[in-house]
Chain A
Amino acid sequence: MRRREALLAIGFVLMPLATGTIASAWQRAPAQGSNPHVASFSEKVQSMVPEFEAVGRPMADVAVQIAYKYKLPMAIEHVDLDALRKPLRLTLKGQSVRQVIAAIVASVPGYQVDFSRGLVDIYSPAARRDPSNLLNMQIPRFEVDGLDTHLADAQLLCDIGRQLHGHSGCGGSVAGGQWGKRKITLHLDNRRVYEILNAIVAQNGEALWVPIAQPKEGSPLITGNFWYIYPLDPPFERSAVERLRELPLSQQRAP
Chain B
Amino acid sequence: MATRFVDESTLSTWNSSNSGIASASGGYVSGESPGTSTISGTYDGCVGWANQIVCECGSFQPGTGSSTVNVVQVPAVLKVVNTQTSSYCSGTSCLLEVWYRVLDGSGVPIQIPGMRIAEAVSGTETGNCTGTLQDQGSWNTDSTGTMSGPDYWWWCCDSGCNATYSFNQTFTVDGYSVQVENGSYAGSHNVVTIQCSNGQGTCPSVVPTP
Contacts and interface: CB of A to CB of B under 8 A. Distances in A.
A84 interface: no
Contacts of A8: 22, 29, 31, 69-71
5 contacts: A5-B105, A173-B135, A218-B123, A224-B132, A230-B138
Interface string B148-171: 111111111111110101010100
Which one of A10, A158, A160, A223 has the highest number of Cβ atoms from chain B below 10 Å of its Cβ?
Answer: A10
A227 to B, nearest CB: 10
Interface centre among A148, A166, A176, A234 (most CB of B within 10 A): A176
Contacts of A177: 148-150
A203 to B, nearest CB: 18
B85 interface: no
Contacts, number: 241
A11 interface: yes
Interface of chain A: mostly helix, strand, loop or mixed: mixed
Contact of B124 (A167, A218, A243): A218
Contacts of A175: 137-139, 149, 151-152
B165 to A, nearest CB: 6
B32 A1 contact: yes
B130 A14 contact: no
Contact of A178 (B30, B130, B139, B192): B139
A167 B156 CA distance: 11
B190 to A, nearest CB: 9
Interface of B: 8-9, 12, 22, 29-33, 39, 41, 43, 61, 63-67, 69-74, 76, 93, 97, 104-106, 108, 114, 116, 118-125, 129-140, 148-161, 163, 165, 167, 169, 192, 194, 196, 201, 204
Contact of A225 (B30, B133, B148, B159): B133
B155 A14 contact: no
Contact of B41 (A12, A160, A161): A12
Contacts of A212: 136
A168 B201 CA distance: 12
Interface in A1-35: 1-16
Given A8-B22, A15-B43, A239 B63 contact: no
